[in-house]
């Protein structure tokens, strides 16, 4: 598929918002990928983010290829590091962890990965990544050695989101952390949607259709869910999530 960013914008315009499912191609999910991707294909979700903070064995790239072969929707790389790059992605979120001050994730990994991306000819989607404190120490927080923005400091989040826009980013990703106890507040999303002109991706701790719809109606352009895919009743729940997120369908 060509021009994934355009596809995402058109999805948002047509459906009101997009549902993106995060799949971690880690060994813990071996044996489940066929089921996970089938659920995504049948749920009405619009894209798959692939990524994780850690690679626990040498089969990461093989798993990405497998997911790509099974999926009916675009595969977008949600990078944990340059070592996770391969030719199987339709696009990459070319992210900078703007909420942190660790130069490795502000610019270091980006410089290392840029020549590889150029060689592989993968579409890049410049994205400002903001880590918010969803409760508990997230893997991203630990691995990046960065402090999340407190949920009650909307002013700090707003300043970082505006910085992302002025730096020329095409998306702002508000991340409460995988399995967050508290998702990004609707008040924060509404404030940012009124202040910035680029689409907002919101993820972390969104477990119910009600949670998802509230955040779409507050101004989120895309909702990311991940851990709910691993629940026993995820097939029906994923369909309900997609339906709630697609507010204009």
* SS3 labels along the chain: CCCHHHHHHHHHHHHCCEEEEEECCCHHHCCCHHHHHHHHHHHCCCEEEECCCCCCCCCHHHHHHHHHHHCCCCEEECCCCHHHCCCCCCEEEEEEECCCCCHHHHHHHHHHHHHHHHHHCCEEEEEEEEEECCCCCCHHHHHHCCCCECCCCHHHHHHHHHHHHHCCCCEEEEECCCCCCCCCCHHHHHHHHHHCCCCEEEECCCCCHHHHHHHHHCCCCEEEECHHHHCCCHHHHHHHHHHHHCCCC
- pLDDT at residue number 231: 80
- pLDDT at residue number 249: 79
pLDDT in tens, 41-87: 999 999 999 998 888 899 999 999 999 999 999 999 999 999 999 99
Task: Return d(Cα 121, Cα 135) in angstroms, integer.
Answer: 38
- Which structural domains are found in the chain, ordered by start? 4-245 (3.20.20.390)
Average pLDDT of the segment spanning 18-37: 91
- pLDDT at residue number 103: 97
pLDDT in tens, 126-167: 999 999 999 988 989 999 999 999 999 999 999 999 999 999
């Amino acid at each position: 598929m060509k021009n994934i960013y355009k596809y995402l914008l058109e999805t948002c315009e047509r459906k009101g918002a997009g549902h993106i499912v995060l799949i971690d191609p880690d060994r813990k999910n071996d044996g489940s990928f066929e089921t996970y991707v089938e659920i995504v294909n049948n749920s009405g979700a619009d894209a798959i983010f692939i990524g994780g903070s850690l690679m626990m064995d040498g089969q990461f790239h093989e798993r990405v290829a497998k997911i790509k072969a099974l999926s009916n929707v675009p595969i977008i790389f949600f990078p944990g590091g340059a070592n996770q790059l391969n030719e199987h992605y339709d696009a990459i979120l070319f992210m900078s962890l703007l909420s942190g001050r660790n130069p490795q994730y502000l610019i270091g990994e980006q410089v290392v990965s840029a020549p590889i991306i150029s060689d592989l000819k993968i579409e890049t989607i410049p994205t400002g990544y903001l880590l918010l404190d969803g409760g508990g120490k997230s893997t991203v927080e630990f691995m990046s050695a960065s402090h999340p923005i407190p949920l009650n400091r909307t002013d700090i989040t707003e300043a970082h989101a505006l910085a992302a826009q002025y730096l020329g980013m095409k998306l702002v990703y508000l991340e409460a952390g995988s399995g967050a106890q508290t998702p990004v507040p609707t008040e924060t999303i509404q404030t940012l949607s009124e202040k910035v002109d680029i689409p907002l991706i919101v993820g972390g701790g969104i477990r119910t259709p009600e949670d998802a719809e509230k955040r779409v109606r507050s101004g989120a352009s895309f909702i990311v869910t991940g851990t709910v895919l691993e629940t026993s009743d995820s097939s029906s729940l994923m369909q309900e999530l997609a339906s709630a997120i697609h507010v204009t369908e």
